[in-house]
Structure 1
């Protein structure tokens, strides 16, 4: 018979867990963030806009300083470049010679134009000179470029018309920009621009007028085309560092994936195993020994799941104890009801009726205490802890006992202490002391006294508030000083009303006290001769500023 025919749904593989192991979202996020930061670094390094602008401005200032010095010399008649009296002009023979002899810096080009915008000198005569202001300049240099290598026979002829047209357009644009710059300088205004040269390169250019006194004789233009080379060198120098940064980021991403993302995935998978019931608790020893936040998380999850597992075991044991305790009165009731019809004498029927009533009272008390015990965890988790004054709380409780006490019952006497404020929940704490007082009164002789004392040892660094409840009863057997706090344990003296106690009171006391970060213990009171004269229950609770209330 198949699973479908048997009414059971076949177990499907956990595709979500498989997908998580196949791809880590956290690891992907770490890698993405690192790559984004790297892309930003690369983009800023490759652009170098601010560096480029700074280089351009610095180069323009340097060229301007050089040009100012040169035009000052060129304007002096003693140099021999300026001729003519009374109308001076630039000598087209001496000017190129002087410029060639006195200006040959590497990476720069100097041009000299006369008052009509015609080029009369050029420090780089190998470059072709084009018409400027509708004029031509003759030079001894033969312009031109080396011919390309011969192509093999049969190679189809390529159409270079587009390339020639593009080069002509670039050359015309370069001449136009140069003409505009020279024209502005001839009007007496120094010019500084970033423009295109005849060979298509971007150059930094400054043009200053050459003056004799106040008359403009021509224009000196200085060009520098090494800014792009400097930026390229900067980029190449930065490239190894960028590669190292990339490697470091990738390594960091891998380490974060191995030491953060994968452990979190393992914890998630272990939690999934617990959820599906395949395990009772998370146990990853290799993660729990880590001294970082992942180790803290693993230990916290293990502790949490172990606590849940212990609570499940406690609930299972509690259910078994409840079943056992409830079956006893039910069995007694059933036996009495079966016997009741067979009994004819009135006295025997009255005894069976009294037994039935006692079992019903016992069952009612059991159900009430079981209900209180089962709701205790929920009440402790819902009620927020706040400062509680034990003097006021116990004063109200003792006053209730004084007003409702019946003749012959043990009286309750309170001895208040000093500052007895604790952090807790007044409802559950009130239940603790009522259960202890009720337990002490049930063991006290007729007309006895139950003493409640609040104390605080001021010399104790722990600053613990202690509440003790004493009675004058028979005491507790030494072997049962811890057993009395177990569920459904009861040991009553002869003559105590049957069914009046369920055995859950002291168990509830310990549960509430431990939830408030305290402890409760039982001991016997003895006289100087060592005779037991009663029992004492002592509750220790941390003071308000030290209290750490645990959530159940």
Structure 2
């Protein structure tokens, strides 16, 4: 049975909330770091692509304005109408880029000129094999459509320079009405193109439509994807670095704690001593501190149990030695009735002492087990103390018997404490029995309940006073040690095992209270128990 120290409840742990947790923030930030880089890269590249597309549109619009001006001067008649032959010759003379295609239409959407055919340009591109899209491609397309539906309403609105996706017919109809129309779509060859259609006018009459198409948008997209590669590389590098840091910051410390615990289990060490971990200001630091405190408390408990076993062996050995000596002596003095009676009295006294000692050891072990299994409850300390005192009133048979009385000095304050009823009752009984053992015949043991304060904390104070010889001033603390049995002259021997006050101190410590002793001015001893009230 170990002697317990005063127990202090741990305060609020650092990092108990999710956002207040250092490890949670570290994991959260590390997991988002790579994703954030990819998102930023995608946003940057999206802006780059939009800028490329808008620049290409503006370039086509500028070229179309120049070309429609030339066509309006050189390929129109005064009627007004479009001179088809002149329009075709003008297209041939135009110095168009390799990926730009020019077409001329009449207002009836009749194609009258195509730069690709008039310049005899032939594009040779290998057609991709015809095959069904893979399951992954279908899933990707479905996810893309879902993302567009979900996030479309919250995406920023496109500017006026952005290019819409529309069919050629819609683009042509706008140009015929005299507007400049631009769109992006797929050609009949499956190429992504940017198209600009602009009216050819004679004065204010629309005599035809010029369409310029640029098919180098795929190269822009490929360049965009190539530009995304560095961002992917950085994201992978960040993921690798954060994983490495998480390993250093979490996995390795936990491994060190595991190895330290294994060393304790195997007997290679008796405590966890990892100062680098206990100084950390996060959950791992809390865990290391808790494990270190747990092992130290366990070690103290083991040492206390070993000391208790040694003390018990010593205390049992003394009366057994005395009994053995008395028995051996009794065999030699059988002819002396007086000596034989004296030896029998010694044996009876030692047997009584052994019985008292074994009973108190059993009670101490039972109470320790009860304090670890039985939960605390709210107890009205005035009612509880009065009930304990009333059990002693029935033991008074004559004027020589010692009486026990109770006084509630709280004026009905009804103080409540959190305690275990069995151990708390053992405290009061031990103190009252101790006071009775030192009181003269016919005396009174006074139990008083008071209310006091310790700072902002309300305290329930129980005083147990006797009229005995008192306590030597240098023994006021030592009397709470185990197996302390020094008694004043004239007091009965064998009535105390030296465990009663030690048990009291242990129980009160587990209830976060205090117990101490002092001498009364008018004579006698006073034991004071302070318990925090609710």
TM-score by length of structure 1 reads 0.69
Cα distance between partner residues in 2 of 1:259 and 1:445: 69
Runs of 4+ aligned residues of structure 1 deviating over 6 Å after TM superposition are 30-33, 46-75, 98-101, 103-107, 181-191, 206-212, 215-218
- State the distance in 1 between where 2:125 and 2:49 align: 32
Aligned partner of 1:453 in structure 2 is 448
Q: Over the residues paired in the alignment, what is the CA RMSD in angstroms?
A: 4.7
| Contact 2:53 2:217 (8 Å CA) reproduced | no
Distance in 2 (CA, whole Å) between partners of 1:244 and 1:182 is: 41
Residue 86 of structure 2 is aligned to residue 93 of structure 1: yes
Q: Does 1:365 align with 2:340?
A: no
3-state SS of 2:524 partner: strand
Which segments of 5 or more consecutive residues in structure 1 lack a partner in the other structure?
1-26, 123-128, 130-136, 146-163, 171-180, 528-532, 545-552
Counterparts in 2 of 1:341-356, with a 5 A limit?
Answer: 343-344=334-335, 348-356=339-347
Aligned to 1:166: 126
Q: Is 1:379 aligned to 2:332, yes or no?
A: no
Cα 1:84–1:236 shift into 2, 3 Å? same
Matched-pair contact (CA < 8 Å) for 2:470–2:519: yes
1:258 lines up with 2:281 in the alignment: no
CA contact (8 A) 1:490 1:501 kept: yes
Which residue of 1 is the match for residue 481 of structure 2? 486
Alignment of 1:175-186 (within 5 A): none
Assess, with a 3 A threshold, how the Cα gap between structure 1 residues 116 and 387 changes in structure 2: closer, same or farther.
Answer: closer
Counterpart CA distance in 1 for 2:476 and 2:93 is 115
Q: Does residue 522 of structure 2 align to residue 535 of structure 1?
A: no
Which of 406, 431, 439 is equivalent to 1:436?
431
Measured at CA, do residues 500 and 182 of structure 1 come closer, stay the same or move farther in structure 2, by a change above 3 Å?
A: closer
Q: Report how far residue 287 of structure 1 moved.
A: 2.9
Q: For residue 320 of structure 2, what is the aligned residue in structure 1? A: 330
With over 3 angstroms needed to count, the CA separation of the structure-2 counterparts of 1:516 and 1:187, relative to structure 1, is closer
Question: 5+ unaligned residues in a row in structure 2: which ranges?
Answer: 1-22, 131-166
The 8 Å contact of residues 432 and 464 in structure 2, kept in 1 or not, is answered as: yes
- Among 269, 273, 284, the alignment partner of 1:279 is 269
CA contact (8 A) 1:422 1:543 kept: yes
The 3-state SS of whatever aligns with 2:448 is strand
Indicate if the aligned counterparts of 2:330 and 2:343 stay in contact, CA closer than 8 A.
yes
Kindly indicate whether the alpha-carbon contact (under 8 Å) linking 2:447 and 2:463 is maintained by their aligned counterparts in 1. Answer: yes
In the TM superposition, residue 33 of structure 1 has moved relative to its aligned partner by: 10
1-side partners of 2:285 and 2:404: how far apart? 52
| Among 455, 461, 486, the residue aligned to 1:466 | 461
Answer whether contact 1:185 1:219 (CA < 8 A) is retained: no
Shift of 1:340: 4.9
Deviation at 1:254, TM superposition (A): 3.2
Q: Residue 258 of structure 1: CA displacement?
A: 2.6
Offset of residue 397 of structure 1: 0.9
CA distance in 1, matches of 2:322, 2:109: 133
SS of the residue aligned with 2:185? Answer: strand
CA–CA distance in 1 between the matches of 2:197 and 2:340?
133
The residue that corresponds to 2:113 in the other structure is 120
Q: Secondary structure at the match of 1:491?
A: coil
TM-score of the two chains, using structure 2 as the length reference: 0.71
Deviations 1:38-95 (A, max 9, x none): 37854995699977997899799979999999999999xx766455979x66623136
Residue 121 of structure 2 corresponds to: 143
SS of 1:465's equivalent? strand
Distance 1:516 1:68 in 2: 92
CA distance in 1, matches of 2:473, 2:351: 33
Q: 1:300/1:92 Cα in 2 relative to 1: closer, same or farther (>3 Å)?
A: same
Q: What do residues 185-214 of structure 1 show as CA deviations (whole Å, max 9, x unaligned)?
A: 88999995522476x8532346689899xx
8 Å CA contact retained: 1:456, 1:464: yes
Q: 1:193/1:497 Cα in 2 relative to 1: closer, same or farther (>3 Å)?
A: same
Relative to 1, partners in 2 of residues 1:167 and 1:522: Cα closer, same or farther, differing over 3 Å?
closer
Residue 229 of structure 1, CA deviation: 4.8
Return 460-469 or 306-315, whichever deviates more: 460-469
For residue 300 of structure 1, the aligned residue among 290, 299, 304 is: 290
- The 8 Å contact of residues 195 and 205 in structure 1, kept in 2 or not, is answered as no
Structure 2 partner of 1:38: 34
SS at match of 1:404: coil
CA contact (8 A) 2:57 2:194 kept: no
Quote the Cα distance in structure 2 between the aligned partners of 1:186 and 1:462.
Answer: 88
Q: Residue 405 of structure 2 aligns with which residue?
A: 413
Partners of 2:37 and 2:231 within 8 A in 1: no
Q: Per the alignment, do residues 417 and 119 of structure 1 end up closer, same or farther by CA in structure 2, a change over 3 Å counting?
A: farther
Q: Distance in 1 between matches of 2:308 and 2:367?
A: 13
Provide the residue aligned with 2:470 in structure 1.
Answer: 475
Secondary structure at 1:194 match in 2: strand
Give a deviation string over 1:449-478, Cα, whole Å, max 9, x none: 212222223584343332221111101112
Q: What is the CA deviation profile of residues 306-334 of structure 1, one whole-angstrom value per residue up to 9, with x for unaligned ones?
A: 11111111000000111111222333333
Residue among 377, 391, 399 paired with 1:400? 391
Listed as ranges, the matches of 1:233-244 within 5 Å are: 234=224, 243-244=233-234
Partner of 1:11: none
Cα distance 1:428–1:404, how it changes in 2: closer, same or farther (>3 A)? same
